[in-house]
Structure 1
């Protein structure tokens, strides 16, 4: 199987055997840059890494980020994202502690029982994914960000036209051996003038049932996921200092006679359903950036609509007939979330004495509507927020205070017979401060403190005690970074960033019986590249947590296992890149009830990317990846089912 990764390297070398390979001319780069220029614990996954990872889901795009752990990330349904111990739980796909945005639009739902993150979209639609861990850096995007913030940016037409007038496109086919997966992505970009651009993309991703390392069915349902993106941008003004961008993003999935319980924990008691899911996002963004350092305005208006319709199949539950109606209540529940969000922000650059300011001020208006379901209350969540963030620099010192004020009005809607109040009002002030000092020798030290509140959710209308109680969290960060050249040899580059954190959450309402959670850990990211084209990427996370629950303090149930990820790669030529990735996960000993899933494991992945620069194959890209090379049979910690066994992936792409 590993030999597949070397077919294209040999072909590339044989293509021009008479010419020597000049390694010293290779562009030096690794898989990922380390963000040493900020105190925020942020990791960016760019377009090249998105393509090289050959991910089938959004979750698989970010599982290589330190502090991120997946729960069943190989399928769009029944999967979850955990960041620093917060996010997906065994009962719900989210605990509201992680925020996900697509082009500024908030995604996801609230507590839908035994259903995953509800992040039904395709990774091929996006050109960049940014993951911010913790609270610092989140106040201009939202409240209640305890675990982290995931931001996705869709592709633009100019990414393919290069800003030149004319047509451009890209066709991609991807095949996977485990699950007989096949994906087609078609992109057409048109730029009729310098000021006008349009993009259309259609993606169809299909996957059958996958097997684990022992050849047994994983239990994850097959899926057929069509997605499409329509996007346009118009630039105008005498100085071309204004623009309007419109985008429409839609993903649909239909499942027939599948288990209601996407986590596979119910043993059949929940029965089967026919389920139809439609997730669509509409974004309109206006930008005004005149020749003035005091004015750079962006206004982002978004609408996110997720509809989950399901029909229970009678007789499919293992419950006794007299109890089957309880399963039918869940199975027949139709869920719909509609979120309208307006964010207006201005960025001003100015100086006060020896201090330079990058001041961002703005406001947000948020309206979320949840449909009434047989198993969950409906209503509206109206919010208004003001925020201010200022990056103040003087020499090597950067001081970044941030403040956010948010109000909330929750209203129960529908013909509901209840003695509980139907309207609640809440507000909160939150904020943080980060300090960063950059020395002249490449070293930087930084630290931050942040406080946020997670406001009550619509799902808790039937629990009045929760409706006036925000979940509160405080996070401390301390870290250092280094970036330099010619460190170990001529022409090499080294970047390292380490981050210590401690998070305390109290007044918790998202977890049954748990009133407080405390997590702490260390995250490490590093990248080293040599002039010869050899590179090493390394990241690691060690996180532990405690929970307060009757009868006393215990280990935090959703704390992730310690993880180390190392990638060794070589750019043989400018066209050819080979890499070997090892993911080592330690045995999880900090658990309340040990299970077989607490065992440690190590898996290996190999990748080869070939991008011809000349000849008839110019513009083509060929990728071969083998995940879980040695067909290891294992179940990741926090996952509810085993991981896929060996999976060979082949991607063929051509830009024109």
Structure 2
């Protein structure tokens, strides 16, 4: 969604998550090392996910509801999980000190970035990682050569992580991590999506996440794999109008300060019951969200940032059951209880809600490599602090059900005797009702099909294809049906590549999409990439990446964007581990 600058970018999965009015609708969870963050419904400011790819070693995406009950309630679109790097990712688990420096340049916007990582492992069971990343990019030009205003960015990020394992078999583990990302804007539009002219602001945004995790996993006991984690996340947005006296000063001068404390205790067990084997995960969570109130309109008395506390207790259980006859069945349940209290303007307002939600998925795999699967899930999105001004919303959770069915096929020796093929197709149907996240909307119905294909040869040639087609409709509070305004574009992405040994990876990617209900037509964009990793000699440990994005300088605006996309952009990244 958008992406022209950090403040306006966000994730949209199957039509839910980031949108062009609020930061998010709570229906896509962003989880960093087990910490849920960046999920406030803040008007016109964006998603508040201020972070940097250099901090992470992996990102995974869960689409839909059925696999999300370990992460929260009300998740309709899905979950985006980030896992931060460890020092051992650079030391290889060996005692010593490593330093990795990355430098990058992009031609469109004259952008530069630097990422410095210090990894220290003084002993096998103790490791320390420090990272600092800085980016500086001027406003970019679109495919027609026009400067896209207010797209200059200058964020910086840092990560500190300490990990210590102990015990006879290192069955105990302690991990502490802290990360911070900040970005400053000067004389920039209050509306991060550049849609409504409320006026300009000077704005500083800071995001902090701290976690302390204890793990206990004895090697001789399959019934104990315990994790206890406390986390604290804080997002602070300080804003002031550059030209006070306008009609929306109470918005422009409204600071946002909210924090989330979370304690999670969970255990994983593996055991047999007859012919069935169970991979069982269960846990309890305590979540406390606190937000300070800021700015009351002098004319209407409305609050730009409603304050209060939202405390929740949740229990969850997920069991992956291998039936021993090619069947795998995975039931999941989550129960959540909420107490939400207003502050200042809504002081004394208190609402209590609870919900039981869950789902089940089933998969059958034939000996041929063909597998079929299906799932059904129900979830509720409990009320949020932003809706304290509407008493009816505070006792009306949003409700959603999703059904999915699909098939996958994996095989080798397809054409040449040394190749492999993987194909997966999935159909989903989702219904969201009792809607409170969108003004004037009563219900959202969506359905679609998703296709993934990967083909690879021993010679290094490979093909990746991903495609999605959906039908998204909304029903207004007056009963009028229309296209859903947050629907993602129907699209396909094809990558043709060639790996040459361990050193080279060359690829061409073609992205084709339509613009759905925005009536802007479709577009096709080509991207070229080359990666070189020397395996020996003085350059061993070096990585060189060269990319050309939008190679033919196409002028286009993605379906959920409010600005035209970046024109042709040459990108060069150099990295070296010492």
TM-score by length of 1: 0.85
Deviation at 1:572, TM superposition (A): 2.5
**Pairs within 5 Å for 1:4-19:** none
| Aligned residues of 1:219 and 1:641 also touching (Cα < 8 A) | no
1:403 is aligned to: 333
Q: Which of 95, 104, 117 is the matching residue for 1:174?
A: 104
Matched, 1:140 2:70: yes
2:176 is aligned to: 246
1:356 is aligned to: 277
**Pairs within 5 Å for 1:319-358:** 324=246, 326-358=247-279
Matched, 1:563 2:484: no
| Aligned residues of 2:514 and 2:559 also touching (Cα < 8 A) | no
Matched residue count: 567
Within 1, Cα distance between the matches of 2:412 and 2:544?
32
Within 1, Cα distance between the matches of 2:343 and 2:308?
5
| Aligned residues of 2:525 and 2:554 also touching (Cα < 8 A) | yes
Matched, 1:384 2:313: yes
User: What SS is found at the alignment partner of 1:124?
Assistant: helix
**Pairs within 5 Å for 1:55-454:** 71-266=1-196, 268=197, 270-290=198-218, 291-314=220-243, 324=246, 326-374=247-295, 375-395=304-324, 396-414=326-344, 416=345, 422-454=349-381
2:301 is aligned to: none
| Aligned residues of 2:506 and 2:531 also touching (Cα < 8 A) | yes
User: What SS is found at the alignment partner of 1:208?
Assistant: coil
Higher strand share: 2
Matched, 1:575 2:503: yes
Higher helix share: 1
| Aligned residues of 1:275 and 1:308 also touching (Cα < 8 A) | yes
Within 2, Cα distance between the matches of 1:587 and 1:141?
32
Within 2, Cα distance between the matches of 1:352 and 1:523?
35
| Aligned residues of 1:410 and 1:458 also touching (Cα < 8 A) | yes
Deviation at 1:587, TM superposition (A): 4.7
Q: Which of 494, 500, 504 is the matching residue for 2:427?
A: 500
Within 2, Cα distance between the matches of 1:527 and 1:272?
47
Runs (5+) with no aligned partner, structure 2: 296-303
2:400 is aligned to: 473
**Pairs within 5 Å for 1:625-636:** 625-636=547-558
2:299 is aligned to: none
| Aligned residues of 1:421 and 1:464 also touching (Cα < 8 A) | no
TM-score by length of 2: 0.97
User: What SS is found at the alignment partner of 2:7?
Assistant: coil
2:512 is aligned to: 584
Within 2, Cα distance between the matches of 1:105 and 1:372?
23
Within 2, Cα distance between the matches of 1:146 and 1:327?
33
2:465 is aligned to: 538
1:10 is aligned to: none
User: What SS is found at the alignment partner of 2:154?
Assistant: strand
Deviation at 1:360, TM superposition (A): 0.6
Q: Which of 573, 590, 602 is the matching residue for 2:524?
A: 602
Within 1, Cα distance between the matches of 2:550 and 2:256?
36
1:624 is aligned to: 546
| Aligned residues of 2:255 and 2:305 also touching (Cα < 8 A) | no
| Aligned residues of 1:544 and 1:560 also touching (Cα < 8 A) | no
User: What SS is found at the alignment partner of 2:108?
Assistant: coil
Deviation at 1:219, TM superposition (A): 2.5
Deviation at 1:394, TM superposition (A): 1.9
Deviation at 1:254, TM superposition (A): 1.3
Within 2, Cα distance between the matches of 1:301 and 1:609?
39
Deviation at 1:220, TM superposition (A): 3.5
Segment drifting more, 346-355 vs 572-581: 572-581
Within 1, Cα distance between the matches of 2:19 and 2:230?
31
| Aligned residues of 2:116 and 2:133 also touching (Cα < 8 A) | yes
Runs (5+) with no aligned partner, structure 1: 1-70, 316-320
